[in-house]
Structure 1
Amino acid sequence: MYNLETLQISSTFPCLVIYLLDQSGSMEDPFSPNISKAQKVADAINEIIFETGLKCFDSNGNVKNRFEISVIGYGGRNSAVEPAWEGNLRGHWVVSIADVFTNAIGEQNGIPIWITPKAVSDTPMTRAFENAYRVCEAWINWGNHRDCHPPIIINITDGEATDGGSFDSTLKKKVQQLKSLHTNYGGVNIFNIHISGLSGDSILFPNNSPIRGNASLLFELSTELNPQMVALANRMGYNVQQGARGYVFNGSPKHLMDFLNIGSNPL
């Protein structure tokens, strides 16, 4: 394996970021007093994509294709698993950041909109990770992508998979297959944001497994933050140790945005 600390993400060596969005019926529940989980997640994804793109402008005002973005919704109409883009990007599995910036469907509070909230039906999380595997495998094997940063997958969910199999064995197997994919700089990163309706303290970037039901499973599915991500988290005020997993349970709106910044900006 090459040394990740020497890697410079660029238009020649881009990074793939995949967002998996739970769009099941329970996402219509409140996230905070005046906004649903589905709306907050859509707002956060639009904002983090916008912030990522702003970092890709060169001195001439052109967007360099340093990142390629995939947004996959699961649930929604007929328990679909499909690209969540709207407008001209509808149906596209992977989109360069330059193409993302030229295909917004609108704007809200100065932030372009690419994703709209959905909250219908079941939670086909296993099929979402299966699609992430197909996207990652094809992307890694294309061109020079084996010399790029390992893909980053960020799953945002509020519940349990409805297609996980007995004791979630099918889900675990699919995620393990995804973890087996790698570039010359290491294995894929799999992070989970668990939006819970339960009261109690938030769990942020733990080193050890929580003991709370499905929280333990999503922790197990998550990979460790790399050293650059740990350093960024600590600069943002979190007490994160080496070996911490990319996992948040019961986070606040601020935790959601901070997590997306840490997970989506690897270097």
Structure 2
Amino acid sequence: MKAIKPSQRILLAIVSLAALLSLSASWAEAATTTYFIDFNGVTTTTSSGNPNGYTWNNISSSALAALSDSTGLLSAASIQMVGSWGAGAGNGTPTTLGMTGAAATAFGGAQYTAANNLYYTGAATGTGGTSSTYITFTNLIPTDTYTFTIFASRNGGGNRDGLYTLVGGTTATGTLDASPNGSVNTANILTLTVTPTAAGVITLYDSLASDNTATFAYINALRIDATAVAVPEPATTALLGFGAIAFLGMRQLRRRFVAVNG
């Protein structure tokens, strides 16, 4: 049996190393863009910084409005409220309380104004994705994943459980009581994740849950996290390609060695 030539040993070592490098290739972290929305029914649609440095979008009408992200950068994404929404300035969490617990963590603090003001709807019980009262988000990136964190609070008694339904390329639904056990909500949130339609649209429906006894459902604040699909870094792509070539080269060398030595 003939020994492998030095040149063949070197080439075999190179292709083996390339194959190992391709296995250890890294992927770029998925980028996330965050939007904060205050449904207050008081001011015009603007972006304003809060004490924590985030920029909030203050929604006060049914007019189509472009959204700014949490850093203040104006985006292509837009929001529009459709149907019979009522404004309840000052009817949410008392300004002496604000958000607490999970809500404060998600929204970056007590957010007294965002928690205190709200929009409400009397959409029929359980209408979900067929309600005529909804919020539409357009010009979204179809390949991104969107996580909606909803905060609803009403300073009043009765069960004020809302049914929230997101409809896009995928659908998600859940409930959140704005007045749990008859007391104002300060901490509870609802998180739903969907992808947009191919046209870049997601619709949020807010209707009454089956156990709602107060005839209204609410939304005070909304956080949206848009996460792009993770892609391999440029160097990783090159390594993966090199690794594939190396693998094929290694197979060819072994075949040649077997053919020569039997």
What TM-score do you get using the length of structure 1 for normalisation? 0.29
Higher relative contact order, structure no. (Cα contacts within 8 Å, ≥ 6 residues apart)? 2
Higher strand share: 2
What TM-score do you get using the length of structure 2 for normalisation? 0.29
Question: Which has more radius of gyration?
Answer: 2
Higher helix share: 1
